[in-house]
Amino acid sequence: MTQHLKHFIDGVHTDASDGGRMRLVDPVDEKEYATAARGTAEDVRRAVAAARSQLQGGAWSRLDGAQRGLLLNRLADLVQRDLELLADMDAHAIGRSPMEPRMMDVPNAIANLRAAAGWANQLEGRTIPTSGYMGTQTLSYTIREPIGVVGAIVPWNSPLMITTWKVAALLAAGCTVVIKPSEETPQSALHLAALCQEAGFPDGVVNVVTGDGGVVGRALCEHPDVAKISFTGSPEAGRAIQRTAGPQFKRVALELGGKSPQIVFDDAAFDDAVRGCALGIFVNQGQVCAAGSRILVQRSIAERFAAALAEAARQVKVGDPAEPGVQMGPVAKKAQQERVNRYIRQGIEEGARLLAGGVSEPGEGFFVKPTIFAGATNQMTIAREEIFGPVGTIIAFDTDEEAVALANDSEYGLAATVWTTRLVRAHKVAQGLQVGAVGVNCWSPLDANLPWGGLKTSGIGREGGLAGALAFTEEKVITVLLP
């Protein structure tokens, strides 16, 4: 039976003002399985008003950090209780194997909530020595105040996990939120909001408005009572958000795309590097911001490595994730399937060698093939643009300096991996890379205590860890004259 999802505003499941409904389609058989409210600017206004009233004398504004931490821990317990349900919601919506969110995304969401529960009571100010005021001694100190109502705008590839990167930290800081989930994946955000109510968060602290980015997302960016936009998604939408939020001097955190290098040196543990590179480009069908899509391999092992990675690609079983043994489902939507095929065609046209996979034939479901190109250059389109699909491009290099230069020759700067057994090389190369995070002999280690974010077109700001919670506060200075 088709489910009809509503917004969650001020603790109530409520329909859209007049925006109608969006269809949610199963990527495996292309059939509608649910609809969601297509929100309007009016829905955003109602949600922001509810969020604002909790900050202005509402029950939430009277809770201290320890009490907020207690609620966050209760919420973590409830997410743990509903782990399978939440994982299955996110997996089904984008055609992903549920094992991945069960093992990675939802545990990470729980860890984010627990870490934030700890930060909630530790957002301390400072006492700062000064030269006094006109010859009189002063005491200057700072306090951390919640930034206000936050608009959290989320993509479809890891919906719950990314929602909690934002929501856990901002709740720890004492903010309130209006979540705008992706058009394709509103379910887990709505369930999380209902769990917030069950945990005891006052109504209005966590609201969800579903709908289109250009309407609901834009209305959040334009709303004068939204103090910060915390966005994860594409650079194109990030730019649109900057244009709207900028003139109001709204705070923004932008977690954008990537074209992340995996650098494999000839002294690397070969099989580990093959496995790591396969994971880095094939997990979640390559629909991962940190996907290790540019695979830079030292020339002396490049042919052998390419053959091994191509074999790993051929071994991936593609199909309906509900069937036993299937490791890779379809990509999330038709446009995504067309995008992946377009890039594969372009790679062939530009002269890269196709070792595994290739363009997928039309059929039911948005399936694509795990694909490996070799003999590529860093100037080819498949090495420069984010494909957001299971397409790895192998580029050979000779020296450490060349590897670092190739890695940095990208408009993106999100993450990188270094595969080597030489300690000094690992540290030196890691330090030379212009990215937000480097994994040495491990692809994209995520942890609730680690900051995450990128440079250049990969975005602005950091989420995660203490830095993530502090980013939802403003530091206020108070100076007292002590005559």
Q: How many CA atoms lie within 13 A of 161 on its CB side?
A: 21
Residue 261 contacts ligand NAD per CB under 6 A = no
- Quick one: which of 241, 301, 418, 430 contacts ligand NAD (CB under 6 A)? 241
Identify the helix (H) or strand (E) that includes residue 482. none
- Tokens 């992340």 correspond to what residue? 260
Strands 7-9, 12-14: pairing kind? antiparallel
**CA of 378: how far to CAs of 95, 256, 293, 466, in Å?**
31, 21, 12, 36
Residue 10 contacts ligand NAD per CB under 6 A = no
3-class secondary-structure state, position 221: helix
Strands 3-5, 32-37: pairing kind? parallel
Q: Are 160 and 78 in contact (CB under 8 A)?
A: no
* Rounded CA separation 207/259 (Å): 33
- The DSSP 8-state label assigned to residue 395 in this structure reads E
Residue 180 contacts ligand NAD per CB under 6 A = yes
- Quick one: which of 414, 433, 446, 470 contacts ligand NAD (CB under 6 A)? 414
Is the Cβ of residue 257 or residue 392 nearer to ligand NAD in the bound state?
257
- Quick one: which of 58, 65, 69, 155 contacts ligand NAD (CB under 6 A)? 155
Q: Are 371 and 357 in contact (CB under 8 A)?
A: yes
Which three-class secondary structure string do you get for 348-411? HHCCCEEEECCCCCCCCCCCCCCEEEECCCCCCHHHHCCCCCCEEEEEEECCHHHHHHHHHCCC
Number of residues counted as binding ligand NAD (CB under 6 A): 30
| Rg (the chain; Cα; Å) | 23
Is the Cβ of residue 221 or residue 309 nearer to ligand NAD in the bound state?
221
Q: Which of 255, 277, 386, 463 is catalytic?
A: 255
Is the Cβ of residue 321 or residue 454 nearer to ligand NAD in the bound state?
454
Residue 471 contacts ligand NAD per CB under 6 A = no
Q: Which of 175, 196, 277, 289 is catalytic?
A: 289
Residue 289 contacts ligand NAD per CB under 6 A = yes
Residue 292 contacts ligand NAD per CB under 6 A = no
Q: Are 155 and 182 in contact (CB under 8 A)?
A: yes
Q: Check if 277 is active-site.
A: no
Residue 413 contacts ligand NAD per CB under 6 A = no
| Least Å from the CB of residue 215 to ligand NAD | 9
Region from 55-63, 119-127, 236-244, 320-328 binding ligand NAD, contact rule CB under 6 A: 236-244
Region from 16-24, 128-136, 169-177, 235-243 binding ligand NAD, contact rule CB under 6 A: 235-243
Residue 189 contacts ligand NAD per CB under 6 A = no
The widest CA-to-CA distance across the chain, in whole angstroms, is: 81
Contacts with ligand NAD by CB under 6 A lie at: 153-157, 162, 180, 182-183, 213-214, 217-218, 221, 232-234, 237, 240-241, 255-258, 289, 386, 388, 414, 454, 459
Q: Which residues are catalytic?
A: 255, 289
